[in-house]
Amino acid sequence: MLEAMVFYILAAALVTFGLLMITRTNPISGAMTMVGAFGALAGLYATLSASFVSIIQILVYAGGIMVLVIFVIMLLNMHPDDLKPMKAQPFWVVLALLAGVTTILAPILFCVLPNRDFTWSELTPGFGTLTAVGEKIFSDFIFPFEVLSLVLLTAVIGALVLAKRKL
């Protein structure tokens, strides 16, 4: 019962923060609601017995990526016009959006999920802890892990080249 209550509270918080985020006009308030959404997601990961992923969600997303976004928002000397609501989308975009939402969401919610009986499996002791995930990364996923370091290096160099005035 407690598990269900925690799930519904976190899910409600997540959807509320998400909807608040896409309706903000000020990017700073958007970033702040986004931090709330990431906090709720970290709680959901914890209920799925993924403790390490939950901590990484807080550390990297709320602590790293959102700080970077807020830093850049404050770095740019934005004109007050950029904080006002921008010109609305044309009607056909909204119509296409509604159609897309219906075609994606409705089949998943009303056809696929009720007919698939996913059940939780028996978990091994220590499932989702730092030790277990670390063993998995450094045994089965060592090559993708090494490639990832190259991706991050490329991102750092690319960001420098793009954002620097003169090289």
Residues between 111 and 130 that touch another protein (CB under 8 A): 113-114, 116, 118-124, 127-128
**Candidate residues 25, 74, 99, 111; the one interacting with another protein per rule CB under 8 A:** 25
**Residue 27: CB minimum distance to another protein, A:** 4
- 163 in contact with another protein (CB under 8 A): yes
Q: Which of 39, 74, 83, 33 is nearest to 58 (CA)?
A: 39
- 132 in contact with another protein (CB under 8 A): yes
- 30 in contact with another protein (CB under 8 A): yes
**CA dist 68 to 40, 61, 63, 74, 93, Å?**
20, 10, 9, 10, 31
User: How many CB atoms are closer than 10 A to CB 17?
Assistant: 19
Half-sphere exposure of 116 (CA within 13 A, CB side): 9
Site for another protein in 60-89 (CB under 8 A): 60-61, 64-65, 68-69, 72-73, 75-76, 78-79, 81-82, 86-87, 89
Non-local (6+) Cβ contacts of 42 within 8 A are: 54, 55, 57, 58, 62
**Candidate residues 74, 94, 95, 111; the one interacting with another protein per rule CB under 8 A:** 94
**Residue 109: CB minimum distance to another protein, A:** 6
**Residue 67: CB minimum distance to another protein, A:** 10
Residues in the interface with another protein (CB under 8 A) total 88
**Candidate residues 18, 36, 39, 58; the one interacting with another protein per rule CB under 8 A:** 18
Q: How far apart are the first and last CA of the chain?
A: 60
**Cβ distance 54 to 42 under 8 Å?**
yes
- 19 in contact with another protein (CB under 8 A): yes
Determine the Cα–Cα distance for residues 58 and 133; give it in Å rounded to an integer: 17
- 131 in contact with another protein (CB under 8 A): no
